[in-house]
Amino acid sequence: MSVVERLDEIYAIAQHRAAYSPEEDAAHELAAGWMEEAGLTVSRDEAGNLFGTRGDARVWAGSHLDSVPTAGRFDGALGVVAAIEAAARLPDRALGVVAFRAEETGPMGSQFVEQRPDAYVEVHIEQGPVLERMGEPLGIVTAIAGQAKIPVTFGGRADHAGTTPMDARDDALVKAARFVLHVEEAARAGGVATVGMVEVHPGAANVVPDRVEVLVDARAPTRPELDALVARIGHEPRTIHEPAAMSGAPLDALRAALPDAPELVSGAGHDAMILAALGVPSAMLFVRSLNGGISHHPDELTSEEDIALAVDALTAALDRLTR
């Protein structure tokens, strides 16, 4: 069965395969069968992560099989199915294929791995427009962006929306609106920043808002760049997730397989970020998203040709890593 047919089979289970749901279980069952066909020995750990291993598996490839409610067919599933295919093409190599639990919602199964490999490689749809704009089918990820969550509260004074003259108001939402524009400007100098959550009090059409809370999501490829972005935004972060550098033998192996491929930073978190944070040298290969990079949407698309190139590159990288 081809990689694309397997992706269709997983999608046919359900578009939404929530963490630890019967649908995610069914996807793991399907993958377990394909792992056995590829000559891998199936096992599971306490977190429910699925492994297909051959020999002393010190090199792993994989991704996740859970999905968001509005999912397309490639996010996560592509990395698992591509790894099974690559393992089948390297029948005499000691290696492991892994399907991690609960990547989309957490608590991410990859956080709880009991054994740590010497190398981890993950193929993943880009979920953005960068490779499509470059006209490149594949890209090597050099880092996964760090992320700061910055809560900011604006105060004002509640007043009657009809009787209070414009020059006598203290409107918290007007202050917040100026701040949103400031955040956009701050990110133009590097990184990305988004205000995606706004709470307006009291939230009535006929009352001038007296309190507004916003939450900024700011991301950048390195810690100094993230710190600089946070400084430009000008408020204290509540949480910071460190950027994760891709590194070591798996990154070298992807570069050797694809010497001309562009290199890019992932703005989204992935299982490879967790493995890297656990100290496992990790690398990621992005496959071009079509349709403008739309993702977490049924129109999410990667071509059969690009998938074939990704499987070839992953196979070459695993060949090098397990030699």
Residue selected from 62, 76, 96, 221 as contacting Zn ion according to rule CB under 5 A: 76
Stretch that binds Zn ion, among 72-80, 210-218, 237-245, 272-280 (CB under 5 A): 72-80
Contact 191, 150 (CB under 8 A): no
Tokens 């427009």 correspond to what residue? 129
In sequence order, what DSSP letters do the residues of 29-65 get, joined into one string? Answer: HHHHHHHHHTT-EEEE-TT--EEEEESS--EEEEEE-
Binding string, 133-172, against Zn ion, x = CB under 5 A? ----------------------------------------
Give me the least distance between CB of 175 and Zn ion, in Å please.
37
Note whether 128 binds Zn ion by CB under 5 A. no
Stretch that binds Zn ion, among 18-26, 33-41, 49-57, 75-83 (CB under 5 A): 75-83
| CB closer to Zn ion, 76 vs 243 | 76
Binding string, 21-60, against Zn ion, x = CB under 5 A? ----------------------------------------
Alpha-carbon distance 14 to 27, whole Å? 9
Note whether 306 binds Zn ion by CB under 5 A. no
Binding string, 175-214, against Zn ion, x = CB under 5 A? ----------------------------------------
| CB closer to Zn ion, 49 vs 322 | 49
DSSP state of 75: T
Stretch that binds Zn ion, among 68-76, 136-144, 212-220, 233-241 (CB under 5 A): 68-76
Pairing of strands 282-287, 119-125: parallel
Tokens 């003259």 correspond to what residue? 165
Alpha-carbon distance 283 to 224, whole Å? 22
Alpha-carbon distance 147 to 282, whole Å? 19
How many C-beta atoms lie closer than 10 Å to residue 179's C-beta?
19
Give me the least distance between CB of 140 and Zn ion, in Å please.
17
Note whether 75 binds Zn ion by CB under 5 A. yes
Note whether 66 binds Zn ion by CB under 5 A. no
Alpha-carbon distance 150 to 47, whole Å? 31
- Beta partners for residue 285, in sequence order: 123, 140
Tokens 């460190």 correspond to what residue? 242
Note whether 122 binds Zn ion by CB under 5 A. no
Note whether 126 binds Zn ion by CB under 5 A. no
| Among candidate residues 106, 126, 103, the one with its CA nearest the CA of residue 300 | 126
Give me the least distance between CB of 157 and Zn ion, in Å please.
45
Residues that bind Zn ion (CB under 5 A): 75-76
